[in-house]
Each structure stands twice: as C-alpha cells, then as structure tokens.
A and B are shown apart, each in its own frame.
Chain A
Amino acid sequence: MGQRITRAALAVVGLALLAYGGLLAWEFATSRTINAVQGIAWFVGGPVVHDGLVAPLVGVLGLLIARFVPATWRAPVAVGVVLSAVLTLLAIPLLWRPFGVATNPGLHDRDYAAGLAIALGVVWLGVLVSGITRRLRGGATPRV
C-alpha cells in the first residue's frame, strides 16, 4: 500500500516536471529554426551514439579482454581501459576545439595533452602494479 502511494506520487510529480520541461523545450525549439534542428540532433545523438557505438565497443573490448588477456591480468586491464576511456572522454572538449572561443587568459590554456598523457601513465602504472601483485600472490587469484 505504502509503496503504491509512493509510486503514484513519484509518477505524478515526474509527469508534472516532464510537462513543464516539455513546455520549455517547445518554446525553445519553436523560437528559432536552429534551436529545433540542433536541439533535436543533440537530444537524439546521445542515445544513438551510445547504443549504436559506445556500448557495442564496450562489449567487444570485454570479449577481447576475456579472450586474449590472461586471467590474472583481466581485472586490472579492464579497470585500466575504463579509466583511460573516462579520462579521454573528459579531455575531448579541452583538446578538440573547432568551436572553442578564443582563449581567455587563465582558462583552457594548460597543456591538456601532456596532462592526459600523465594521467594515463599513472593509470597504467597502477594496472601494472596491480597485475604483478596478483601474479605474485599466484594460485588462488583474487578477483576484483
């Protein structure tokens, strides 16, 4: 009973917020053509790129790791791949700037390629240490 009321309340509030967001989005999209076209492209683009490209890539990488990486090294390598991907993703807007504003002093003016390289170096050093530790422990491989 309690849960039914909670669910109904969540649904009602959620639908109200959706309606308000929909109204704002409608006003936004109908005020300029570029808003509608690019807004929809960005909205649809996320799920399309994720479901059609990112997630399959994750699956394939998982398969490759399971197939080619020795059991002891699988978890550290998988963690290394995930961390590298997240760091690279976060670095993209800083590294790839076809539409970036002219540099403002004190903003976006650091060496992000070097920063990313160092971060990836730290990650893979961690992978190496973790993998070697697991190997040295040998036998019953602890699973992460």
Chain B
Amino acid sequence: MVHTAGQPMTTEGGKPPTNDTPSPTSPVPRGGRLARLVDRLQPPREEDFRSPAHHERVTARVGLWLGVAFAVCFVTGLISHAIQKPPSWFYWPASPVNLYRINQGLHVISGIAAIPLLLAKLWTVYPKLFGRPLVRSLHHALERASILVLSGAAFFELATGLFNIAQNYLWGFYFPSAHYAVAWLVAGSILVHVAVKLPVIRRGLVRLTAPEAPAEPPSGVLSRRGFLRNTWLATGVAVVATAGATVPLLRNVSPLSWRSDRGPQGVPVNRTARAAGVTDLARDPEWRLAVVTRRGTTRWSLAELTALPQTTAELPIACVEGWSQSATWTGVRIADLIRLAGGTPGTPVRVESLERKGTYRTSTLPGPHTEAPDTLLALHLNGEPLDLDHGFPCRVIAPSRPGVLQTKWVHRLEVR
C-alpha cells in the first residue's frame, strides 16, 4: 500500500490529500525526489480509512447476504454431490423434472452472486487488516486465524468454481474433490466467524429508530447507503450477466453466459464423440444394446429399438457446471426395456457407455428413475435422429439428473 506519511490514507469517503505537510514522525527527506518518495512510503493505519463503507452497519448487511449466498451454494453443492456419490440413505426424486436443473442453477448463480458480495464485504473490513497490535490475545489470534481460513477458502471456492464453469482448468488437481473439501472449510469458518461476531452483527443489523446524524464527509464518493446500493447493483449485474446459461428468459440478455445455441440440434455438448473416442464404435452396424437381468441378456439392434413403442418427453440436460437446456427427446422407456428383458423397474440400473475410459463411462440410474415414465433411452432429439455428439445410437435421458450421468453411446444396461 502506497501513501505518503502525514497525509492520512483516505479512501473514497475521505477528503483527498491536498497539501504536503510532512508528518512530525517521518524522517527528514534527503536526496532526490525518488529517495524522498521512498522515505514517505509506509503502510496505512486502521484509522486512515475514513470511507463510510467501512462502518459495521455496512459490513453486517453485506455479510448477511454473503452468508445467504454461501448457504445456498453449500446446500445445493451438497445435494449435487450426494446425487453423484449417493450415500445409502440418500433419496433424490425423479420429479419434478427440473429439480436438478434448479438446484444446479442456484448453485452457480449463488456462487457468482457471492463474488461481488465477498469483495464488498472484504472492502468494508479491509482497514482491520492494518489494526495494530497484530495480535492482542489468544482469542484475538484465533479469530484472525479463522478469518484467514475463511478468506482463503472462500476465494478458493469462488475462483475455482468460476474457472470450472468455463472449463478453464488452471490447475492439475481433480476439481470436484478439491471444491468439495474446501466447501466444508468455508461453511465451518463462516459459522465460527458468525459465532465470534454475533454481538457486532446484531448491533449492525439493528434498525435505527432515530435518523443518525450524517457523520459522512460531504466530499465522499459513496455514502453508506450508496455503497450498499452499489453492492446490490453489482450483485444483480453479475447474476444477469451470467444467468442466461440456465435461465431461458435471460438467454439473449446475458453477455457472459457460457452456453450458446450453437450445439448440434440446439443442445450444447460437453464431450464430443471424438473426445470420447467412440466415433467408429458408435457407427458400427453391428452395434447392439444389451440389457442384462436375472433372466439373462437380451439384445436389440437400433432398428429393433426403433420398432418398439416410442415415448416423447420434454427434459432438460442440466450440467453440474450450471448450464441447462430443455429439449424434446424421443425413445424407448427404460422401464419398458427392463420389463421386456425380464426385470422389474424400480431397481437401480447400471448404464455402460461405449467409452473405453473416463470417469463418466458408466452411471447408475437409481430406482425412482428407472420406473419413472419419462426416463428414456433416447433415439431422437428435437425431432431428428440423435447426433453422434449427443450419444448416437442411444443415450439415457432421465428427469432431474446431472448431465454427466445422462450417459451417452449406451451399449449395456444391467438391472441390479
């Protein structure tokens, strides 16, 4: 931080430094202008920050909404995690069809909203970084340490999340494990932080009965209320600028939506047939779908599948990375296939792709989804035969499921 001694470091609320009075404590400048400048460089003190934005009433309000954003993000993240790695007690319903889409939309939008909120929140408390002495007591030391964990974890989650939705991997680690572990650190350190600060928070949130005397210098850039309004505005702008990735109404509004309409058949593709290495296997005329039940294995060719009763359903592809797109899918009900092969719908089904490797080459459809009438082995998308990149010859499309589990290029179903 650069400022000149003797001129209190003012922020946008304070009067800008106008004169050059040297501080009595600063060393007498010697030598050239550069040496004089270097002599005058020193960190600001806590009381040098005079902007109304640093008031605890501002901090409490921004903090409250940041807490709400993180809470939504955490809960929706846990739900998405549980769907992908279901513990034995976990139940996720097959309807309404858009439930996962909403969950994941909320996850990403609340995360994006948290970015301006976190920056505003940190700006309101930034002067405290310069509070001296650095550590006053054990209690104070623990408090500072917990804030370091909170800030590190919060930035970690928001930054990796933001780059991950852009599929821009500035790291070599496995994102889901890291993002999941640090989420618990954010949640825990927020709760500890609230426990420590509760009296300040309550004081800060109390509604003033009498109008407070305006303690703000008239030369300020933004008043307390102005800073808050600007924070809400920036949060709203961040949401509107990106939410078109999942909210149909904002499709043509959001300039920074990471999904477009340029995908084949109007639906984005997260993994092409070429990337999956299935281009030849998927086009092989010898391809057969195998459905394995206790009775044995039943095989269908594509023509035979097409000859079975077809069902059409309007279902979204909802990616864990937040984007979603509804589409019209036509194909054979998974429940019908299970029955034809001698199994009972309502039990989990393991789905296997033609992909040879990759984390998502298989998935397991849980019981509620295998009996749902709109869980399909889709052969058509938006009225056309499935594009190779959408999983030709057939793919799973089930209601309220993450896109990565809507397995493409299916060649085998195993009824458990």
Residues of A within 8 A of B (CB): 3, 6-8, 10-11, 13-22, 24-25, 27-28, 32, 34-35, 38-39, 42-47, 50-51, 54-56, 58-63, 65-67, 69, 71, 74-75, 78-79, 82-83, 86-87, 89-91, 93-94, 96-102, 104-110, 112, 115-116, 118-119, 123, 143-144
Q: Which residues of A contact B165 (CB under 8 A)?
A: 93
Distance in angstroms between the alpha carbons of A83 and B232 in the assembled complex:
11
B260→A18 contact, CB < 8 A: no
B112→A18 contact, CB < 8 A: no
B263→A105 contact, CB < 8 A: yes
Knowing A35-B178, A109-B262 are in contact, say whether A11-B220 is a contact too (CB < 8 A). no
Q: Which residues of A contact B149 (CB under 8 A)?
A: 18
B230→A82 contact, CB < 8 A: yes
Counting chain A CB atoms within 10 Å of each CB, which of B51, B155, B225, B389 scores highest?
B155
B167→A144 contact, CB < 8 A: no
Interface check B271, CB cutoff 8 A: yes
Distance in angstroms between the alpha carbons of A67 and B190 in the assembled complex:
37
Give the shortest distance, in Å, between A141 (CB) and chain B (any CB).
9
B178→A71 contact, CB < 8 A: no
Interface check B247, CB cutoff 8 A: no
Residues of B within 8 A of A (CB): 1-2, 9-17, 49, 51, 112, 115-116, 119, 122-123, 126, 129, 148-149, 151-156, 159-160, 162-163, 165-174, 177-178, 180-196, 198-199, 202, 218-223, 225-226, 229-230, 233-234, 237-238, 241-242, 255-264, 267-272, 275, 323, 325, 389
Residue of B nearest to A96 (CB): B168
B155→A104 contact, CB < 8 A: no
Residue of B nearest to A102 (CB): B275
A75→B262 contact, CB < 8 A: no
B188→A15 contact, CB < 8 A: yes
Among candidates A13, A50, A107, residue contacting B260 with C-beta atoms closer than 8 Å: A107
Distance in angstroms between the alpha carbons of A124 and B194 in the assembled complex:
37
Q: Which residues of B contact A66 (CB under 8 A)?
A: 10, 12-16, 219-221
Knowing A11-B191, A62-B51, A75-B222 are in contact, say whether A108-B12 is a contact too (CB < 8 A). no
Q: Which residues of A contact B17 (CB under 8 A)?
A: 63
Knowing A74-B221, A90-B241 are in contact, say whether A104-B268 is a contact too (CB < 8 A). yes
Among candidates A82, A93, A143, residue contacting B234 with C-beta atoms closer than 8 Å: A82
Distance in angstroms between the alpha carbons of A47 and B183 in the assembled complex:
16
Q: Which residues of B contact A78 (CB under 8 A)?
A: 12, 221-222, 230
B172→A7 contact, CB < 8 A: no
A108→B258 contact, CB < 8 A: yes
Among candidates A15, A28, A47, A99, residue contacting B169 with C-beta atoms closer than 8 Å: A99
A25→B182 contact, CB < 8 A: yes
Give the shortest distance, in Å, between B228 (CB) and chain A (any CB).
10
Distance in angstroms between the alpha carbons of A105 and B364 in the assembled complex:
26
A86→B234 contact, CB < 8 A: yes
B230→A79 contact, CB < 8 A: yes
| Chain B interface, DSSP helix/strand/loop, else mixed | helix
A107→B270 contact, CB < 8 A: yes
Q: Which residues of B contact A27 (CB under 8 A)?
A: 181
B151→A119 contact, CB < 8 A: no
3 tightest A-B contacts by CB? A46-B155, A106-B263, A106-B268
Knowing A42-B171, A107-B268 are in contact, say whether A14-B230 is a contact too (CB < 8 A). no
Give the shortest distance, in Å, between B104 (CB) and chain A (any CB).
15
Give the shortest distance, in Å, between A132 (CB) and chain B (any CB).
18
Residue of B nearest to A60 (CB): B2
Q: Which residues of B contact A65 (CB under 8 A)?
A: 12, 221
Among candidates A8, A97, A106, residue contacting B168 with C-beta atoms closer than 8 Å: A97
Distance in angstroms between the alpha carbons of A110 and B253 in the assembled complex:
13
Knowing A42-B160, A107-B258 are in contact, say whether A55-B151 is a contact too (CB < 8 A). no
Distance in angstroms between the alpha carbons of A16 and B191 in the assembled complex:
10
Residue of A nearest to B257 (CB): A110
With A28-B177, A42-B159 known, 11 other A-B pairs at CB within 8 A are: A14-B195, A15-B192, A16-B188, A21-B186, A59-B1, A83-B237, A90-B242, A99-B169, A107-B258, A107-B268, A119-B256
Knowing A93-B163, A143-B223 are in contact, say whether A59-B263 is a contact too (CB < 8 A). no
Q: Which residues of B contact A98 (CB under 8 A)?
A: 170
B151→A28 contact, CB < 8 A: no
Q: List 6 A-B contacts (CB under 8 A).
A: A7-B196, A14-B191, A59-B1, A99-B170, A105-B263, A119-B241
A116→B168 contact, CB < 8 A: no
Knowing A7-B195, A22-B185 are in contact, say whether A106-B260 is a contact too (CB < 8 A). yes
